[in-house]
Chain A
Amino acid sequence: MAINRAYVYIEVDAKGVRRTVRQALTAAAVIAPGAEIIAVVASAKGDADAAAASMLKVAKVVQADAAVASSQAAAKAIAQIVKAQGPGVVVFGNTSLGREVAPCLAQELGLPLVPDVTSAQVVGDHVEFVRPIYAGKAMAKVKPLAETFVVTTRANAFLDNNESGAAPVEKATVALTADDQKAKVVSLVQRDTTKIELTEADAIVSGGMGLGKAEGFKQVEALADALRAAVGASRAAVNAGWVDHTQQVGQTGKTVSPTLYVALGISGAIQHQAGMSSSKCIVAVNKDPEAPIFQVADYGIVADLYSVVPLLTEEIKKVK
């Protein structure tokens, strides 16, 4: 069996089609090799989003012709488009919106959902996915039990290798009732990107006593800026009065589990570890090679902070 069509649900931010969605496009090609890839736009600001999507290298962009104000309405709209265009897999980026629309769509179409996959492989007549469970402490290999299905892909699991293109935009008539849009957004406050909540942050840079002085936190903040990360601190740094206690990570502070945790000058006493050891990737910079932080870190640099951090900040700026 070959899958003829792969739909990718488009989300757009200020910089164009979101990176996770572009990565989902890569996934779509892996899941359905040779299939026609269709970008689906079902959003509140349809035209603008469709214009952004048309710059992708896809077969076409299909845009719902109605304004879509809720996840469930988006699912209804996509379902109607899929029914009209012909069966295929539907791929979402595992974003906050994607993981809300995807299961609604799966239910709407009566399809399996394979959420948050990190890899996909066609094996004979089916596709096998790997997805992390138990917060990454185990990986499950799963296969959907239907010819077509809905998938969401984990951020950064697939490379964004989409070249730019000029896809035609096709409008599709969708019929949405008031019942489909019961949940109404009454206000949206743009996120303050300058201050990221520790517990919500995807990346965190924390500083400890190894910084030696309060001014050392400027280095921490600079690296955090480059990584678009939140700034955390060890208890000792908080007690020294260098930063506010709301930034304390640890047993008696905040418990965090970001994708990336960078510990600068933090020895890693258990009280600190209790608050951050479940982070996905931990980087430690400390001049003491015996510091316990290196036992929980994935990558470590044993060096003076002030010789490493400015370089790291510059290097990160280059890749981000």
Chain B
Amino acid sequence: MTPGEFPANMVFLVCFVVAIALFLRTLQKLYLYVRLGQDEKRFDNMPERIKGVLLFVLGQKRVIQETAGVGHFFIFWCFIFLSIGYMESFAQGAVGMENFSYEKIMGFVLGESLSASLYGLFLLVQEILSVVVVAALLISLHRRYIVKPLRLKIDDPHARMDATIIICLILSLLVMLFFMHGLEIAGGRSKHLSAWMPVGNIIAGMFASHKNPEGLYSIVWWLHTGVLLGFMVYIPHSKHMHLLGAVPNIFFRWLGKKGYLPPVNLEDESAEKFGVSEMQEFTWKDILDTYACTECGRCQVNCPAFLTGKPLSPFRMIHRMKLHILERGDVLVQKKAGKEIPEDHPALKSALIGDVIEKEAIEDCTTCRACMEVCPELIEHLPKIVGMRRYQVLTAGEISSEAGLAFRNMENASNPWGIDASSRGDWVSEAGVEVPLISEKPDAEYLYYVGCAGAFDPRYKKVSGAVARALTEGGVSFAILGPEEGCCGDSARRLGNEYLYSALAQQNIETLKNYNVKKVIVSCPHGYNTFKCDYPQLGGEFEVYHHSEILKDLIAKGKLKPQKADVGGKVVYHDSCYLGRYHEIYDAPRDVVKAASNGELVEMERTGPRSFCCGAGGGRMWLEENRGDKKIYMERSDQALKTGAKTIVTACPFCMTMFEDGVKEHKRQEDVKVLDIAELVSPAKKKDTGAE
């Protein structure tokens, strides 16, 4: 059946219409599933959104950050290019080879010879790209079956098979394309273009003596068309759903602060439920996120929990959420339309928390944001995890005894250790410098929010003292709240206890507003993030600085002239997640280290935006790390020790604790020191007895 001739054109049209219909029907379903989600406004700032699509979709910005992603770049662009050819091919299938071709159409305008050259060029590019892509696909098969990188590891055999099917389908399309080129040349139809089709030419050579290359072409054409239409039907059911999900997902991406978590309406006294335990309780964008996942697995090889053998994998989580919504979407749509659905409907059997995502996996997350930083589709993992944690804590009451203790302590003493709240200002007696209370110095330019660790932890009190001395030396006008300061609430919020967080946050905001505070210096990156990203949601708008920013500024302006501290050799700086990835403060602390130490500043392999969490974020500071085959802080301190540095510098009390523990447990506390940047720059205590 020669393509395009009756009745072949009728057969083709029927197949084409059926495929399109099936495709659209699935698309409609997927759309309805997304609409099950909760409202969220993602239509603001259109120029930025369009820019994002250009950058992340057409430019493949995130994709090509990894070598393997370069292959994807070519596959992507090759497919765009080939699609133009596919349209020609479909048109030919409908009206016949002779009646339609780009070459002919262009010929009407440009003249035959120019048109042939242009079309030839198009074919050449097609062939070159296809060769590159065939190579890329073979490499990817090699990776999947021989190299087997951790990145691609998933416990779902279907997902693996799916990826292989897709690769083979694309491969077959390309191979068939070459054959079609070759047979067209052999059949004489494209002889005049043979110079533009090097691969086609080779194949044509193989069929030079064949009786009926046109007939063979028809067979390959049908096969090719079949695969193509089949592919279209298969796409929305496969990992290639990301072809559909990616563009809208990147378009609707979160444009606000990176530390954003959606607020919870705590005013609703009749609410029976807080947090998320069902897919439709997520926002529509959360559901869309799952469609966009390409199953590349970059998230999991940057996830500290996954890399230390814990149940959590962000890749697996998103993948399973997608399967979950696909499984129950139809029933939920019917239910939403008012249809009676029995509670025990088979499609509703599995539970999001427990079956789809293990409770342990939800607990494992350190909210380090590494997954979101690398995701080429800009999927938002963290709000989902926190949403489920909220359900666990606020509604299900499933709280580990360790988290429960931390919550109670925050509630009763406004710090996670449960140390008497009235002693919060006592650290100043060890600061070695006068630190005024804001009540005594209401016109201070900055409020220094010390945080729980700076106020209570004997180790970190030395840092708050060092910050206070440096600020004084640098002539900064500042004061503290002392006993009026409260826990910032970060750990409560990220562990899912929005209720407790909101009480703590409102108390702090009220206190700061009472003193008419405008600028705040925060020592703990978690507090910094909370002041910057969380408090504005509750009306607490302040100008917030981390002490690294202030110290850098003081040094740059010459107001602080630190001695070159002896760090005993190389010095390595660890990026705190909440300073680095959350707020892109990478240089300020390094500048301080360089200005204030005599050692060579070296970097760990995972550094900057790819920094590896210490393990204490997201409230994990208060929980024992019982799962996995390695503790995260041991892994990270390993990485730091491998640099050969004699001093590990941090800018976060949690990281400090984790490194001190790690160095101690590696039995290296004799020769490796852990310091905060403030301790490097800070002038010695005024009332010093010589010990410091």
Asked if A236 lies at the interface with its beta carbon under 8 angstroms from chain B, I say yes
How many A-B contacts are there with CB distance less than 8 Å? 51
A212 (CB) vs chain B CBs: closest residue: B667
In the bound complex, CA of A245 to CA of B406 (Å): 19
B633 (CB) vs chain A CBs: closest residue: A239
Asked if B112 lies at the interface with its beta carbon under 8 angstroms from chain A, I say no
Asked if B546 lies at the interface with its beta carbon under 8 angstroms from chain A, I say no
Asked if A16 lies at the interface with its beta carbon under 8 angstroms from chain B, I say no
Q: What residues of B have a CB within 8 angstroms of the CB of A292 in the complex?
A: 458-459
B457 (CB) vs chain A CBs: closest residue: A270
Asked if B449 lies at the interface with its beta carbon under 8 angstroms from chain A, I say no
* Known contacts A251-B405, A251-B622; is-contact A270 B456 (Cβ 8 Å): yes
A171 to chain B, nearest CB (A): 52
**Interface magnitude class on chain A:** 20 to 34
Number of interface residues of B (CB under 8 A): 24
**B622 and A239 within 8 A (CB):** no
Asked if B418 lies at the interface with its beta carbon under 8 angstroms from chain A, I say yes
Asked if B661 lies at the interface with its beta carbon under 8 angstroms from chain A, I say yes
**Chain B 398-428: CB-based contact to A (< 8 A → 1; otherwise 0):** 0000100110000000001111000000000
**A251 and B665 within 8 A (CB):** no
**B622 and A252 within 8 A (CB):** yes
Asked if A235 lies at the interface with its beta carbon under 8 angstroms from chain B, I say yes
Of B402, B453, B665, the contact of A209 (CB 8 Å cutoff): B665
Asked if A156 lies at the interface with its beta carbon under 8 angstroms from chain B, I say no
Of A245, A252, A253, A269, the contact of B660 (CB 8 Å cutoff): A269
A296 (CB) vs chain B CBs: closest residue: B458
A134 to chain B, nearest CB (A): 11
In the bound complex, CA of A292 to CA of B661 (Å): 14
State the majority secondary structure of interface residues on B: helix
**A271 and B657 within 8 A (CB):** yes
**Chain A 267-285: CB-based contact to B (< 8 A → 1; otherwise 0):** 1111101100000000000
In the bound complex, CA of A271 to CA of B402 (Å): 12
* Known contacts A269-B657, A269-B660; is-contact A252 B623 (Cβ 8 Å): yes
In the bound complex, CA of A245 to CA of B625 (Å): 12
Asked if A85 lies at the interface with its beta carbon under 8 angstroms from chain B, I say no
Asked if B631 lies at the interface with its beta carbon under 8 angstroms from chain A, I say yes
**A251 and B661 within 8 A (CB):** no
In the bound complex, CA of A209 to CA of B417 (Å): 22
B20 to chain A, nearest CB (A): 58
Asked if A215 lies at the interface with its beta carbon under 8 angstroms from chain B, I say no
Q: What residues of B have a CB within 8 angstroms of the CB of A273 in the complex?
A: 417, 458
CB-based closest 10 A-B pairs: A292-B458, A270-B457, A274-B417, A252-B624, A252-B402, A209-B664, A236-B664, A236-B665, A239-B665, A270-B417
Q: Give 25 pairs: A residue, B residue, CB < 8 Å, sorted on A.
A: A209-B664, A235-B661, A240-B665, A251-B402, A251-B406, A251-B416, A251-B417, A251-B622, A252-B402, A252-B622, A252-B623, A267-B664, A268-B458, A269-B457, A269-B458, A269-B657, A269-B660, A269-B661, A270-B417, A270-B453, A270-B456, A270-B459, A270-B657, A273-B417, A295-B458
Binding site for B on A (CB under 8 A): 209, 235-236, 239-240, 245, 251-253, 255, 267-271, 273-274, 290, 292, 295
